[in-house]
Amino acid sequence: MAHRCIVLVLLVLGVWVFGATARAIEDMSMRVKFDQWIIEYGRFYNDAAEKEKRFQIFKDNYEYIESFNKAGKYSYSLSLNNFADMTDDEVDLSHPCAEGNSERQKSTTGSFRYADVNDIPDEINWVTKGAVTNAKNQGKCGSCTAFSAVAAIEGITQIKTGNLNPLSAQQIVDCDTSGLGCNGGWLSNAFNYVINNGGIASEVNYTYKGVAGACQANETLYLTASINGYEFVPPNNETALMQAVANQPVSISICGRGKNFKRYGGGLFEGPCDDCVSHAMTVVGYGTYYDDYDNEYWLLKNSYGERWGDNGFMYIKRNVETFDRGLCSLAHEPVYPTK
Ligand SMILES: *[C@@H]1O[C@H](CO)[C@@H](O)[C@H](O)[C@H]1NC(C)=O
Ligand SMILES: *[C@@H]1O[C@H](CO)[C@@H](O)[C@H](O)[C@H]1NC(C)=O
Ligand SMILES: *[C@@H]1O[C@H](CO)[C@@H](O)[C@H](O)[C@H]1NC(C)=O
């Protein structure tokens, strides 16, 4: 009897050791992945405790992303990006783009010059038309509205003049006193600043720093582009948004709070998404995937770097019937500069 007992003990011990070893190997390979990610993204942690904390978050994100992609239930994938060592709340807190006070934008609603444009193409892509610069990275600064406004100004400038020049988001962060520096801002105010300032400098002449600083716009600053005004697209109307985007890239507010939104890695984004206004992006095209579902999409430019999404861009479902405001509220308050 004693003999058997020992065998059993050994067996249990064996299974336990095997399990523990498997877990240790798994843990080790996850740590290798984390170290590779740290090198790729140039992360630096102050101490071992911080690194361990970041490792646990990385591991959670990695496992979530892997199981999401394996399940293959959605028309998009997720990827380990710049946010892989951050929780969702941390991403929201470090990118405080909230356009909380959206009334401030709508109070100036006026004319919509594209209302009567009925001859609009089935698809348009301002990227391939050469009116869009590469996706920028706002870093840990709530400058999404500055980047969105700049992308829309770059677009209308290229359409009107033929010149495509990356423009200065930093100038808006530093100089638009109605904005909140790195703590958010309003698209219409960003356009107002550029109108009142008589123009905006190029990125090379007023480079992005990712922190709010003193305004460097003075007589010596060369203003590369200018606009005359801005107009709102009628709210919650994706047909009207199409009329506008057929003519130029358009700035939008959007709900960027969802977990999958932050970790989007390409494909057609279809939510889940809330109705909120927490982020700004720029619509730079639309079209239809002529597949089994004939899914209609918007093409959006983001400011989370080129390794987010599809080279920094996102395909998101257009005309989703269950969302009056457009998926992720994207059609809630679109606005574009005029020239
Ligand atoms: C959407 O906007 C267009 C003008 O661009 C207008 O003709 C149409 O009536 C609007 N639709 C709704 C539902 O308000
Ligand atoms: C940068 O500024 C200089 C003048 O300081 C100007 O000549 C040049 O055209 C500017 N570059 C761009 C790309 O706007
Ligand atoms: C004017 O702006 C330039 C950068 O564009 C800066 O180097 C210079 O210090 C500014 N001058 C003043 C007087 O603020």
Judge whether residue 57 has pLDDT over 90.
yes
**Predicted pLDDT of residue 110:** 75
Is 61 among the residues known to form the active site?
Answer: no
Ligand 1, atom 12: closest residue by C-alpha: 237
Task: Give residue-wise pLDDT tens across range 193-252.
Answer: 999 999 999 999 999 999 999 999 988 999 999 999 999 999 999 999 999 999 999 999
What is the C-alpha end-to-end distance of the chain, expressed in Å?
Answer: 93
Which pair of tokens denotes residue 119? 């001859």
Judge whether residue 45 has pLDDT over 90.
yes
In this prediction, residue 323 has a pLDDT band, given cuts at 50, 70 and 90, of confident
If phi > 0 it is left, if psi is from -120 to 50 it is alpha, else beta; for residue 226 that is beta
Task: Give residue-wise pLDDT tens across range 133-184.
Answer: 999 999 989 999 999 999 999 999 999 999 999 999 999 999 998 888 898 8
Region 268-272: what's the mean pLDDT? 94
- Compute φ and ψ for 14, nearest 5 degrees: -60, -45
> Across the strands, what pairs with 254?
279
Q: Which helix (H) or strand (E) holds 265?
A: strand 264-269
Ligand 3 within 6 A of CB of 107: no
**Predicted pLDDT of residue 103:** 47
Out of 58-62, 90-94, 167-171, 246-250, pick the least confident.
90-94
Task: Give residue-wise pLDDT tens across range 13-25.
Answer: 555 566 678 788 8
**Predicted pLDDT of residue 190:** 94
Region 25-45: what's the mean pLDDT? 93
Ligand 2 within 6 A of CB of 226: no
Is 95 among the residues known to form the active site?
Answer: no
Among residues 106, 8, 123, 76, which one has the least CA distance to residue 265?
76
Among residues 312, 319, 265, 295, which one has the least CA distance to residue 133?
312
Q: Which ligand is nearest to the CA of 168?
A: 2
Task: Give residue-wise pLDDT tens across range 112-123.
Answer: 999 999 899 999
**Predicted pLDDT of residue 11:** 56
Judge whether residue 4 has pLDDT over 70.
no
In this prediction, residue 33 has a pLDDT band, given cuts at 50, 70 and 90, of very high
* CA 183 to ligand 3 centroid distance, Å: 24
